[in-house]
Amino acid sequence: MTALGVDLLLLAAFAFAASIGAHYTGACMGMPYAARAITAKRALLLMALLAFVGAALASRAVEQTVGHGILGGGPVTIGLALSILVVALALTSAYNFLALPTSTIQILVFSAVGAGLAAGVPVHWSTIGTLLLVWASAPLVAIGAGYLVIRIIDRWKPAASTPGPLAPMAAAGLVAVGAGASFAMGANDVANASGAFVMTGVLGLFAAALVGGVGLAMGILTWGRPLLERVAFGLVRLDPRMAIASQLVQAGVILAFVTVGYFTSINQALVGAMVGVGLARQRSTVKWATIRDLLGGWALGPTSGLALGFALTWVLRTQGWV
């Protein structure tokens, strides 16, 4: 373990964390911003703070899963961890450039699997199988929960037939659920980047989460604005009540899995919740063409991560760097 290798690992992990933070600005704060409940600057500041807090306080179980539950055989080499991070960072950055939401979690996990296969490192297939079940079930749970939550809310207080100006209570509710989603994102996603520290034994769980949390916050503040609008404006026509229900369900689903050590896609949970509330309203609310585009991105992310992770690690291994 050379000092240069550790420095490169820190740099790659920090850059990946920043890319992740920017990637999820739309999923966490896009709706409050779209409804003009909060300005873009304040939305990004609030999200950066809550993402850091979520990473610092609630990511330990997921850090453990990423650090020790994906690849086996003891601590992995710095070179292998760098290969995983470089592939995941490159793919996430490409999706950010295209403003196409995808799952950084699925990219990271399959980049690790591809790299592990190329390096001859054991893969914990039981963990991968569990994660696949979590990823398949989370959007379905969110659809059902979104449907039920908006039906309960509408029964309690019927929706107005003609939308009016955003009420202060609705604005506060939108900002609150956006803040909750930001906390959940920090807890859920920080290990994508900082789990490499745990894999290699460079840092412990808490220190890794702190470094990753700072990276998330920096990415939100410096690169988050272009991604802030995509999900809220491009996917579904939501009134404030539907938006509150969607993000409440999103945060609840994410945190439920995080507490037991498994992470799932922020975007997929949100899309599932948005589909559920749209169906509950029994009108043409969901923009299915955009959903098809998102599904394409989600399919491409894991497969490209697997292929590129294998290819890069194979090349590095032939050169004696892994």
107-150 pLDDT tens trace: 999 999 999 999 999 999 999 999 999 998 999 999 999 999 99
- Least confident stretch, 64-73, 96-105, 272-281: 96-105
Q: Which residues pair with 71 in a beta bridge?
A: 123
pLDDT tier at 294, thresholds 50, 70, 90: low
209-264 pLDDT tens trace: 999 999 999 999 998 888 786 655 555 567 888 889 999 999 999 999 999 999 99
Given a cut of 90, is residue 312 above it in pLDDT?
yes
Size of the chain, expressed as the number of residues it contains: 322
Residue 26, pLDDT score: 87
User: Residue 265, SS3?
Assistant: coil
Cα 280 to Cα 144: distance, rounded to the nearest angstrom: 10
Cα 88 to Cα 191: distance, rounded to the nearest angstrom: 12
pLDDT tier at 177, thresholds 50, 70, 90: very high
Could you identify the residue written with the tokens 């990219």? 107
* CA distances (Å), origin 264, targets 8, 9, 84, 145, 251: 27, 24, 19, 16, 11
pTM for the full model?
Answer: 0.91
Residue 293, pLDDT score: 64
Cα 186 to Cα 176: distance, rounded to the nearest angstrom: 16
Phi then psi dihedrals of residue 123, to 5 deg:
-105, 135
Q: Which residue has the higher pLDDT, 143 or 299?
A: 143
Return the closest-CA partner of residue 66 out of 22, 20, 101.
20
Q: Which residues pair with 123 in a beta bridge?
A: 71
Q: What percent of the chain has pLDDT over 90?
A: 64
- Least confident stretch, 27-31, 41-45, 53-57: 27-31
